[in-house]
A and B are shown apart, each in its own frame.
Chain A
Amino acid sequence: MPARRTRIVLRDLAKTFRDGNRAVAAVEDVSFEIFDREFVAIVGPSGCGKSTILNMLGGLVTPSVGRVEIDGVGVTGAVPAKVGYVFQKDTVFPWRTVARNIAVGLEYRGVPRPERERRVRDAIALAGLGGFEEAFPATLSGGMRQRVALMRTLVVEPEILLMDEPFGALDTHTKINLHAELLALWQARHPTVVFVTHDLSEAIALADRIVVMTRRPGRVKLVHEVKLARPRDIIKLRETDEYGHEYGRLWHVLGEELAAPA
Chain B
Amino acid sequence: MTERARVLAWRLAILLVLVAAWEWLTGIKAIARTPGLYWIDPFFISRPSAIARRFAYLASGNARLTLWQMALSTIQSTLWGFLVGVSTGFAAGLVLGRHDRLARIFDPYIVAFNSLPRIALVPLITMIFGFGLLAKIVLAWTIVFFIVFFNTFQGARSVDADLIHSARFLGGSDRQIMRTVIVPSALAWTFAALTPSISFALIGVVVGEFLGGESGGGLGYLIIQSLGTLNAADMMVALISLGVIGIVMALGIKQLERRLLRWRPEYRGRA
Docked CA distance A79–B170 (Å): 10
In the complex, the answer to whether B263 meets A96 with C-beta atoms within 8 Å is: yes
In the complex, the answer to whether B166 meets A91 with C-beta atoms within 8 Å is: yes
A8-16, A65-73, A81-89, A188-196 - interface stretch: A81-89
Docked CA distance A138–B271 (Å): 14
Docked CA distance A97–B185 (Å): 15
Tell whether B49 is near chain A: CB-to-CB under 8 Å.
no
Known contacts A84-B169, A85-B169, A105-B171; is A91 also within 8 Å of B162 by CB? yes
Q: Write the nearest CB–CB distance from A103 to chain B, whole angstroms.
A: 10
Docked CA distance A108–B171 (Å): 6
In the complex, the answer to whether B170 meets A138 with C-beta atoms within 8 Å is: no
Q: Which residues of B contact A105 (CB under 8 A)?
A: 170-171
In the complex, the answer to whether A138 meets B263 with C-beta atoms within 8 Å is: yes
- Selected from A91, A107, A138, A156, the residue in CB contact (under 8 A) with B163 is A91
> Interface on chain B toward A: helix, strand, loop, or mixed SS?
helix
Encode contact with B along A117-140: 1 for CB under 8 Å, 0 otherwise: 000000000000000000011110
Tell whether B265 is near chain A: CB-to-CB under 8 Å.
yes
In the complex, the answer to whether A95 meets B263 with C-beta atoms within 8 Å is: yes
In the complex, the answer to whether B268 meets A136 with C-beta atoms within 8 Å is: yes
The residue on B at minimum CB distance from A81 is B171
Docked CA distance A153–B162 (Å): 14
In the complex, the answer to whether B170 meets A136 with C-beta atoms within 8 Å is: no
The A-B contact count (CB < 8 A) is 66
Q: Which residues of B contact A91 (CB under 8 A)?
A: 160, 162-163, 165-166
Q: Which residues of A contact B169 (CB under 8 A)?
A: 58, 79, 83-85, 153
Docked CA distance A83–B168 (Å): 10
Q: Write the nearest CB–CB distance from A105 to chain B, whole angstroms.
A: 4
Q: Which residues of A contact B180 (CB under 8 A)?
A: 93, 96, 104, 107-108
In the complex, the answer to whether A109 meets B171 with C-beta atoms within 8 Å is: yes
Docked CA distance A121–B173 (Å): 25
The residue on A at minimum CB distance from B181 is A93
Which A residues are closer than 8 A to B by beta carbons?
58, 60, 79, 83-85, 87, 89, 91, 93-97, 104-105, 107-109, 136-139, 149, 152-153, 156
Which 5 A-B pairs give the minimum distances between C-beta atoms? A105-B170, A91-B166, A108-B171, A95-B184, A85-B169
Which B residues are closer than 8 A to A by beta carbons?
160, 162-163, 165-173, 176, 180-181, 184-185, 261-265, 268
